[in-house]
Amino acid sequence: MIVAEPKPIAEVAGLIKAAKHVLVVGCGECVTVCQAGGEKEVEILASALRILWKIEGKDGTIGTQTIVRQCEPEYVVELAKKLKNADCVLSLGCGVGVQFIAEAYLDKWVVPGLNTKFAGGTVKAGIWEERCGFCGDCVLHLTGGICPIIRCSKSILNGPCGGSQEGHCEVNKEISCAWQLIYDRLKGLGKLDLLDVIQPAKNWQTSRDGGPRKFVKEEAMIE
Amino acid sequence: MTTQKPETAKAAEVAVGGGAANAAGATGLANVAGAPEFMPKIVAFCCYYCAYSAADLAGSLRLQYPPTIRVIEVPCSGKVDPVILLRAFEEGADGVYVAGCMEGDCHFLKGNFRAKKRVQAVKKILDQIGLGGQRLEMFNLSAAMGTRFAEIATDMTRRIEELGPSPIRPEALAARKAAAGAKEQGEVKTR
C-alpha cells in the first residue's frame, strides 16, 4: 500500500487559509490502513480545524466525506454533491488521490493534507516500513524475496557493501542490512548459488526514464 | 461512505450544550470579588467499571464536588475516541477528562492504556490549534474511590478556572477582539 503521514495542522491551516467552505476528503484504501487519511483521521482533522477557525474568529464551514478510493474517477464523482457548496478540497488521500480530485473538479482549489511517503506495509501496529521502490523490473526472485533496491540503503545489486556490520547498515544501526537478510534467507533455502551470479548494472529505463509511466491492459478497456 | 455521529459524541454535545448545573457561584472556587463568574463546562468520560461507580459512591457518601462536571458513562475508557474528545471541545467544553480504571485493572485488559495514548495524542493536537493540551487529562481510579472522584472533579475545575474559558467561547472571542482593538488604537496613538 501507499504509506503517507499527516502534514502538521499549522501547515494544513495555512493551505486552506483563503478558503471559506472546505471539504475534507478521506480515502478508504491505503491511507485508511496506515491511519493517515481514513474516515477517522478526516473527522479528527476537520474537528481540529473547526476549533482553530473558531479560535481565530473565522467564518466558514468544514465538511467531511470519505470515499472508497480517491484514485478512481467513479468514486471521485461521489464528491460532487457536497462539493457544490465548497470552494476548497482538503484531500487526505495520497498524491494520486489529490490529483484525481483536482482533475475531476477543475473549478475547485484542491490541497493535500498528507505527505505521501512510500510503498510499504504494516510491520506491527502503528509501524509501517518501505518495501518497494517501483523500479519497474522486479528482481525479488534473485534475492529471496528481499528487495535490494529499496531495503539496501545504497540499492546495491551485488552486496553487501563494506559498511555492513553485524547485520546492520552503516547508514543507520536501526536498519537491517538487506544483503545480510538476503544471504541468511538464501542460505536457509539452500540457494546460495544465486549469489554466485554477478548482476549487471540495472536498466533504470523501466523506472523514471521517459516521464510518467503508463500501464495499458487492452482487454480491460470497455470503450 | 458517510460518517454517522457516534452515540457518545452526541452525548458529549448534549452535555456541553445542555442546561445541567448552570447555577452561578456553585463552585465558589474562582469567586473573585467584582469579576464576572466563570462557570467551567467540563465533560468527564467515565468508565462504567470504575469512575462511574466511584461517582455513585461519591453521591452515597454525600461528598461535595463542583457542579461543573458533565459525566458521560462509557463501557470502558478504551471506548473514548479522539474524535469524541475533540467534538466535546468543538461544542464549547472548557475542559475534558477521561477517567478509567487503575493501570492493570481494566475490565477489558488494555482499554485504559489505549485511552491514555489517545489522550496524549489529542493533547498534542490541542496544543497545535491553540486550545492547550492542559484542558484535557486522563485519570485512573477504582470504583471504591468516591473521595478521589470528588477530588479529581475539584482539581480539574480549579485547573480550568485558572486557564479561563475555552478560547472558542463567544465571551472569550469578544474579549480577544476588544483587546486587539485596544492594541490597534494604542498603536495609532503612538504614531
- Residue-wise pLDDT for A14-36, tens only, equals 999 999 999 999 999 999 999 99
Name chain A contacts of B87, Cβ cutoff 8 Å.
47
Whether residue A125 lies within 8 A of chain B, CB to CB, comes out as: no
Distance linking the first and last C-alpha atoms of chain A: 29
Edge to edge, the sheet with strand A61-67 lists A61-67, A21-27, A88-91, A109-112
Q: Cβ distance B81 to B118 under 8 Å?
A: yes
pLDDT band at A71 (very low <50, low <70, confident <90, very high): very high
Angle at the Cα of A146 from the Cα atoms of A144 and A148, rounded to 5 degrees: 115
Instruction: Report the CATH number of the A2-118 domain.
Output: 3.40.50.2300
Record: fold of B7-16+38-164 = Rossmann fold (3.40.50)
Q: Provide mean pLDDT across the span A96-116.
A: 97
Q: Cβ distance B82 to B45 under 8 Å?
A: no
Assigned C-alpha cell, A183: 544471504
> With an 8 Å Cβ cutoff, are B128 and A64 in contact?
no
Q: Find residue B42's DSSP bridge partners.
A: B69, B95
Contact residues, B window 41-100, toward A, CB-based 8 Å cutoff: 81-83, 86-87, 89-90
What HEC string does A80-91 produce? Answer: HHHHCCCCEEEE
The confidence score (pLDDT) of residue B37 equals 81
Query: Distance (Å, rounded) from C-alpha A114 to C-alpha A133?
Result: 19
The confidence score (pLDDT) of residue B175 equals 79
Judge whether residue B33 has pLDDT over 90. no
The confidence score (pLDDT) of residue B35 equals 53
Within its chain, how far is the Cα of A195 from the centroid? 32
The confidence score (pLDDT) of residue B188 equals 64
* Whole-number average pLDDT of chain A: 96
Burial of A91 (0-12, 13-18, 19+ CB in 10 A): buried
Task: Report the chain B residue with the minimal C-alpha distance to residue A6.
Answer: B125
Judge whether residue B171 has pLDDT over 50. yes
For chain A, give every domain's residue range: 2-118, 137-206
Predicted model pTM: 0.88
pLDDT band at A52 (very low <50, low <70, confident <90, very high): very high
Model confidence over B112-137: pLDDT tens digits? 999 999 999 999 999 999 999 999 99
